[in-house]
Copies of this chain bind each other. A is one copy, B any other.
Amino acid sequence: MTGAGRPRLSTKKRPGDTAREEILDASAELFTTRGFTNTSTRVIAEAVGLRQASLYHHFATKDDILDALLSGTVDEPLAVAQRIRDSRADPATQMYALAYFDAGQLGASTWNLGALYLLPELRSERFETFRDHRYRLMRLYAAIASDTLVQLGSERRPGTEDLPFRLVETVVNARADVENGRHDPTADAAGIAAAAVRVLGWTGDLEPVHEDAETLLEAVAGIAVDAQPLDRP
């Protein structure tokens, strides 16, 4: 520690290129494993190796950290959903692509942040922007689902359009159960996407819609989501 002055730089404790990213990563771990209420900014600062005063330089409150984390789970899917919706792909392909992308990102994130969606704290005005973005994402899902019902000539039962979004969010619950030691298989992103179109009345083969969805996602999101053909056990 001789000649130090800024010891944090030499004892980096967390993944992340910047102090901000390290704070977010540590908070995500603490919020999802110990609970939001149980985690103080002091504990977060300690986990990153920062003084509390330096933490406040990046985030004025613990709510600001939570907001940044939750917005991160919604804002990219929202942008992708809008581009999917604006594409010329048929609705069932749009639906599969959106569910595939969103289930993939919820499943691949380092920490299972969706487990925080049901915190009563999120009802406060502080999180209005996050709630608004999440509802915008839900409405895009519902609009694509509604068009898919028309495309497939399916009967329209109240709330059916809400199901693809709900199916994608089940990735959060499945992950939580695996983290708690459950060993039974859970659906992967392709399985969730397949279910999302099935609940809307898709009855055919899923291989073509999977391939079209991959092409669409590469076009709108620049994402080579999967070089493999659809997994068939």
**CB-CB contacts below 8 Å: A172-224 with B:** 172-174, 176-177, 180, 182, 184-188, 190-191, 194-195, 198-199, 201, 203
Check A226 for interface membership: any CB of B closer than 8 A. Answer: no
Whether B195 contacts A158 by the Cβ 8 Å rule is no
Q: Which listed residue, B38, B159, B180, touches A185 by the CB 8 Å rule?
A: B159
**Interface status of A117 (Cβ within 8 A of chain B):** yes
**B170–A170 CB distance below 8 A:** yes
- Number of A residues, CB within 8 Å of B: 55
Main secondary structure of the interface of A (DSSP, over half): helix
Query: Quick check: is A64 within 8 A (CB to CB) of the other chain?
Result: no
Q: A159-B191, A233-B156 are in contact. Are A172 and B142 (CB under 8 A)?
A: no
CA distance A191 to B194 in the complex (A): 18
Given A120-B35, A157-B194, A233-B156, A162-B187 contact (CB < 8 Å): yes
Output the residue of A117, A142, A170, A203 with the most chain B CB within 10 A: A170
Q: For the complex, what is the distance from the CA of A160 to the CA of B199, rounded to whole Å?
A: 13
| Smallest CB separation, A130 vs chain B (Å) | 11
For A163, what are the chain B residues with a Cβ–Cβ distance below 8 Å? 167, 170, 187, 191, 195
Q: Mark A115-130, 1 if CB is under 8 A from B, else 0.
A: 1011111110000000
The residue of chain B having its C-beta at the shortest distance from the C-beta of A155 within the complex is B232
What is the distance, in angstroms, from A194's C-beta to the closest C-beta of chain B?
Answer: 7
Residue A17 CB within 8 A of the other chain = no
A contacts, CB < 8 Å to B: 32-35, 37-38, 115, 117-123, 131, 135, 138-139, 142, 155-163, 166-167, 169-170, 172-174, 176-177, 180, 182, 184-188, 190-191, 194-195, 198-199, 201, 203, 231-233
